Chains A and B, each alone.
Chain A
Amino acid sequence: MKKVASILRYTILTLGALIMILPFFWMLSTSLKTQPETVQIPPVWIPKQLQWGNYVEAFKAAPFARYFVNSVIVTGVTTIGQLFTSILAAFAFSKLRFWGKNILFLIFLGTMMIPGEMLIIPNFVTLSNMHLVNTYGALILPWLASFFTVFTLRQTFNSVSDQTYFAAKIDGASDWRFLWHILVPMSKSTITAVTVLQVIGSWNAFMWPLIVTNDENMRTLPVGLQAFTTDAGTNFALLMAASTFVIIPMVVVYIFLQKYIIAGISNSGLKG
């Protein structure tokens, strides 16, 4: 009886896993087909000859190299910038004494209730008035601070006792030194988790980059890929090749840093 239940569990989980993996497999398989093979019925699961040339062709069919560089710049600067502003602010909220601390904290908690989509219109107006539309500035500036990150880091900083802080101060460490030499290293795993989640979020972001870039040269990968669908038309092999190289970098990040991603998400679950 126990054995039957166990076999049943593995069967269901395997079937489910196949459904989850199928779109990825189908993407890779299609990306390596000749055009006649893509529309063959019954479907060709593994192409006779792998058409690696599709990747080269897709890469040249649109300025994907440029999109890639844009995505790397936007993701990199956003993540590092946001981490920097958040670490400083989280430290202040966790360990420093100042007027208006509770009110400020409550205001920020309140802003987390607001759907970000509402802010798109005024932010677009602000950035147009600053003549920043179609620049890296527009793609990056609004995301250089995140109260969610501040909140998460503050929780972790709070778990480092105030005694540790005062002991360090008595030993003559300045706040700045304490923050970067003691608090940050002690919170390494949370910081890694928020960093990885931010990298994935920035890399995959679509609506905002779509709105602030009409210039082809400023597109990020997802926006560029969406624009490419019109050019690719019914050439599904090329379209799947292009989709693959948008997806691959984050899959690599995921495979290497899975532990932190899962921990980051689990953490948000524990708090709730």
Chain B
Amino acid sequence: MLNEKPTVKSSIKAYLYLLPMLVITFTFNIYPIIKSFLMSFYTKYDFYTDVVSAYGFSNFTYLWNDPDFHLAVRNTLVFVVGVVPLNIIISLFIALLLNKIKRFAGAFRTIYFLPFVTSTVAIAQVWNWIYHSDYGLLNYFLGLVGINPINWLNDPNWAMPALIIMSIWKGLGFNIVLFLVGLNNINTRYYQAAEIDGADSWHQFTNVTLPLLSPITFLVTINGVIGSFKVFDEIFALFQGSSGPSKSALTIVYYLYEKFYTEWKYGIAAASGVVLFFLILLVTLIQLWYSRKHVHY
């Protein structure tokens, strides 16, 4: 009974259960996936009538030659490199501390996780205010230790760091929770064994904790990289509907949004989406390849 082959009757029944989900996903997921790959080859397209009169590679050559797109790719990579490693180091550190204490661990976790549930747009308004060059809280604190005010949001050199700081702050809690799960799953017997062998706490960390935590670290890295590649809300809200001073926070998804929504260049926007897809795929494959060698399950 368990491994019986499907019959006509059982299949029809199952598809009735699947029907609502299938209708929605085919219309709004599967079809658009195919469509957006096709669209990236549309060179003459009337969106009102949905009629395509020419196909070609010109959208991709446009991206290849567009300095704005180069900037968007570069900024996206800077953002990923700025956010992901720092976020992982800080959240692992906090998780290790939380794992060691007995009292108030729950209360601390609640606080660290709070930014995760808050609207990015709303909290970015608060950060926008904190970063204010004249009256902002951050410059006030910097002033206390003798650092001159920084024009966080209007100086092209500081816009990206400002975005990175806010994003790390917002994303910490999520990773802390995952690391805590990983730490809880490590059998205490490993530590007892290490102690008998005379390992100090640093060696316990590098030889027991880190290797046994590597599946979670891997997951957190993949999540973080993919999420950071797609950054948009933070930029739009922090820089009030712009890509930052001199486009210093223009990322790939922001580029896609501008081409699509403000310039109505659907083909180019779709092509930039395709590039984003392949970049994410490439990074994921590299990480998978790396994890085969270094992640211990």
Contact = CB atoms under 8 A, between A and B. Distances in A.
B253 A117 contact: yes
Nearest to B237: A226
Interface of B, secondary structure class, is helix
A139 interface: no
A92 B27 CA distance: 20
Contact of B240 (A98, A125, A230, A240): A230
Nearest to A21: B111
A124 B50 CA distance: 12
A35 B121 CA distance: 23
Interface stretch (B67-75, B152-160, B174-182): B174-182
Nearest to A227: B241
Interface of A, secondary structure class, is helix
Given A113-B281, A203-B119, A225-B125, A254 B50 contact: no
A246 B266 CA distance: 32
Contact residues on A (Cβ < 8 Å of other chain), bracket = 35 or more
Nearest to A96: B14
A117 B17 contact: no
A25 to B, nearest CB: 10
B111 A111 contact: no
A243 B32 contact: no
A98 B169 CA distance: 47
A45 to B, nearest CB: 10
Contacts, number: 277
A144 B24 contact: yes
Contact of B101 (A9, A21, A270): A9
Interface stretch (A48-56, A82-90, A187-195): A82-90
Interface in A81-122: 84-86, 88-89, 91-92, 96-99, 101, 104, 107-108, 111, 113-122
B91 to A, nearest CB: 10
B78 interface: no
A4 interface: no
Nearest to B1: A166
Q: Which 9 A-B pairs have the closest CB atoms?
A: A98-B14, A145-B24, A272-B219, A122-B32, A118-B273, A89-B21, A122-B35, A96-B14, A142-B28
